[in-house]
Amino acid sequence: MGFGIMFLGTFFLWNAKIADFDILPDFIGYLIILYGIKCASRYCNNFRNARLAAYAGGLVSLVVFASQGLGLFGVSLFSTDAAEIIGALSQLTRITFIMLLLLAIFSLAKETGAEKTKKRSLISIITVPVLWLGYIAIGVMNYLGAIKDEKFLSAALLCEIIYVLFTAIAVFSAYMWICVEGDEDMPKRNNIKTPMDFFDRRREREAAEKSGEDIKKQNAAAEGKTVSEMYGVKKKKKKGR
């Protein structure tokens, strides 16, 4: 459905600057994601708003990319104030696009019954704007000269890394679990195991163990006994015996 392509595109939303030049240009990420949205739109209409936001974000980020490229040759395309306004607009269009993308995945997960994707996209919908606001707040404080410790700037970078990562996880979950109508019994793609799979398996195992303990307690209570009286308690063997 195009989610694998979108997943690759999300990593271009990170800022990886060398000499004030982003080696992971946002506009390339938008183009990749737009192609993924085009594939997904063959099956659903959930990504209409995300597509419009991607067009806007791609246009703004292309201007930013051109400005950074010319800056390497000592050419200033904009004044300092104009460059800051365009940078702020780029940040605003990026978070708007990410939120619309996450909302589209969440709504599609609800429609298709993909519970794991629904939970992960909901977590991202809650977490991403908080981290983004932290990133912006630190940036504004640095601009106003209120921050002198570089640790705060590292925290801002960490906020950006994490909120883009949460976005990527939600998109990857959609790739793994969302099926179009008629493919509900389709096996998991490539049988790829992710950290989320191990977490889900452990949580399911713990839930099964808890359920088994509850059943034992109910059965023992019905017989008027304790669990140990009903089922016995196995003593651990001591070493050397």
Q: Are 132 and 138 a contacting pair, CB within 8 Å?
A: no
Tens digits of per-residue pLDDT, 217-234? Answer: 777 777 777 767 666 655
The residue type of 81 is: D
Task: Provide the 3-class DSSP secondary structure of residue 197.
Answer: helix
Give a yes or no: residue 239 inside a domain: no
Q: Are 142 and 135 a contacting pair, CB within 8 Å?
A: no
DSSP string, 55-89: HHHHHHHHHHHHHHHHHTTT--SS-HHHHHHHHHH
Give a yes or no: residue 236 inside a domain: no
Tens digits of per-residue pLDDT, 170-215? Answer: 999 999 888 654 444 444 444 544 444 544 566 667 667 767 777 7
Give a yes or no: residue 241 inside a domain: no
Give a yes or no: residue 237 inside a domain: no
Domains contained in the chain, number: 2
